[in-house]
């Protein structure tokens, strides 16, 4: 039997000779996101109390506040730690033996801010380095808690929905509608140009939005994102914006970041990753941007609570992965990433041409590495099974991304060129 051709082949990671990161953070730099007060000296140790809740009086009275209530369980955290006096040694190259800053290496945070958010009002301390978007989505769900209401695109990456279910934000699964109760599904189909009709979307605390979209490959226009930001402002909502495919965008007039839209810093969080840019799918390195201007309904900064969640649930991305990330953001690294992205976009073009020649309606990922193929009148799972059993090629059934994905399959451009060409030959043999 022929070997299975998987839809998502391993992407070659950029090779770099970056050395292990050494301790570049001073002690106070490592904990600069928290208010520290020294209470007492006990023999050779210093008692340090981390204050989770600085007063909101410091927030300007006219600052925009969302209507999202702060997670009361994060707000009640009051944790004490004892640090040896010799902890200062950790700030030296010779003395470094332990963990780095949970929020990420200072140099990498600065490089991400200057590379992807230059002139967008985002500073290095707004950037939280992580082990990828999926992990950060779950951390954000922990941040918001179980009492918030959530809206997602339909179809959408399944992790958005599943993390909401696990946190208890939804009701039971409704078999007849193929959806979870209490979760707002924002329908994105060819009929509305894959952008939701916001006039029919109920108010929710959080709106999860991915552009360019996985699975459809479509990217929102500036005008559409402007409407989305205004919608969030009017409703006091917070947008969680997934931009991990932004380097694949070919249409230069479409924004690569939600922060390209004026006012987005007051209503949005952005997540992204090196996985699709540099083949870091196994290396695991990403980031989340939480602007200082983003406030809960009581005026408390969202970023301060997110930092607390990070410090509680995460010890920071691997030093080795972060060194690789810095190499990727060097001039040579950016060039290599651009070449790799271009290669996968060529694969996507080959797949698109194949299905077009076969007479299918194809929504090509001009701005993403995915091809969204329509099989009208047929079940997504039926088409998936047919392709798998007759060609030994793995695609993804559209209904797995939500009820509006029914009748579609997603085909990925991630793969070796020879495998993509062979898969397309088998598609032609099946559907000619």
Boundaries of every domain in the chain: 106-330, 332-431
Instruction: Annotate 233-260 with b (16+ C-beta within 10 A) or e (fewer).
Output: bebebbbbbbbbbbbbbeeeebbbbbbb
pLDDT greater than 70 at residue 41: no
Residues linked to residue 78 through DSSP beta bridges, in sequence order: 51
- The domain made up of 332-431 is a member of CATH 3.90.1150.10: yes
318-358 pLDDT, tens digit per residue, is 888 999 999 999 999 999 999 999 999 999 999 999 999 99
The arithmetic mean of pLDDT across residues 11-20, rounded, is: 31
pLDDT greater than 60 at residue 44: no
pLDDT greater than 80 at residue 17: no
Judged by average pLDDT, the poorest of 29-38, 120-129, 295-304 is 29-38
**Is-contact 101 329, C-beta < 8 A?**
no
- Which of the 8 DSSP states describes residue 187? E
Closest residue by Cα to residue 290 from 274, 317, 267, 256 = 267
pLDDT greater than 50 at residue 163: yes
Q: What 3-state class would DSSP assign to 373?
A: strand
Residues linked to residue 36 through DSSP beta bridges, in sequence order: 50
Residue 365: C-alpha distances to residues 289, 349, 368 (Å): 25, 8, 4
Name the band, by pLDDT with cuts 50, 70 and 90, for residue 92: low
Dihedral of CA atoms 325, 102, 105, 134 in degrees, nearest 10, equals: 20
1.10.40.60, 1.10.10.10, 3.40.640.10, 3.30.70.20: CATH of 106-330: 3.40.640.10
Percent of the chain with pLDDT over 70: 81
114-154 pLDDT, tens digit per residue, is 999 999 999 999 999 999 999 999 999 999 999 999 999 99
């Amino acid at each position: 039997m022929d070997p299975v051709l998987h839809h998502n082949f391993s992407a070659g990671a950029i090779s770099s000779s970056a050395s292990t990161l050494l301790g570049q953070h001073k002690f106070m730099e490592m904990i600069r996101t928290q208010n520290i007060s020294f209470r007492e000296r006990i023999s050779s140790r210093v008692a340090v109390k981390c204050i989770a809740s600085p007063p909101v009086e410091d927030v300007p009275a006219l600052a925009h506040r969302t209507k999202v209530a702060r997670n009361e369980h994060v707000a009640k955290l009051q944790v004490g730690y004892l640090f040896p006096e010799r902890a200062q040694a950790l700030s030296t190259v010779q003395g470094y033996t332990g963990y780095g800053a949970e929020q990420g290496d200072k140099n990498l945070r600065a490089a991400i801010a200057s590379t992807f958010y230059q002139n967008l009002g985002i500073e290095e301390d707004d950037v939280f380095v992580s082990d990828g978007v999926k992990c950060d989505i779950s951390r954000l769900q922990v941040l918001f808690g179980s009492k918030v209401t959530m809206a997602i695109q339909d179809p959408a990456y399944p992790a958005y929905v599943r993390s909401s279910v696990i946190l208890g934000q939804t009701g039971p699964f409704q078999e007849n509608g193929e959806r979870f109760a209490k979760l707002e599904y924002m329908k994105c189909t060819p009929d509305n140009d894959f952008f939701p009709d916001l006039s029919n979307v109920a108010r929710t605390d959080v709106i999860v939005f991915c552009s360019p979209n996985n699975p459809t490959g479509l990217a929102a226009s500036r005008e559409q994102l402007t409407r989305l930001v205004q919608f969030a402002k009017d409703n006091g909502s917070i947008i969680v914006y997934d931009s991990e495919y932004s380097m694949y965008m070919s249409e230069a007039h479409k924004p690569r970041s939600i922060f390209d839209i004026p006012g987005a810093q007051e209503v949005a969080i952005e997540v992204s990753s090196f996985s699709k840019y540099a083949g870091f799918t196994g290396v695991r390195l990403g980031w989340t941007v939480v602007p200082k201007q983003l406030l809960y309904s009581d005026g408390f900064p969202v970023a301060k609570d997110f930092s607390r969640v990070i410090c509680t649930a995460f010890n920071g991305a691997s030093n080795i992965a972060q060194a690789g990330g810095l190499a990727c953001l060097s001039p040579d690294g950016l060039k290599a990433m651009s070449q790799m992205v271009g290669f996968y976009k060529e694969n996507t073009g080959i797949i698109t041409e194949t299905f077009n020649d076969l007479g299918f309606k194809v929504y090509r990922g001009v701005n993403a590495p995915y091809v969204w193929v329509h099989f009208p009148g047929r079940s997504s799972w039926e088409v998936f099974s047919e392709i798998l059993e007759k060609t030994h090629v793995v695609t993804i059934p559209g209904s797995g991304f939500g009820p509006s994905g029914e009748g579609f399959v997603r085909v990925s451009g991630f793969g070796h060129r020879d495998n993509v060409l062979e898969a397309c030959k088998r598609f032609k043999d099946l559907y000619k």
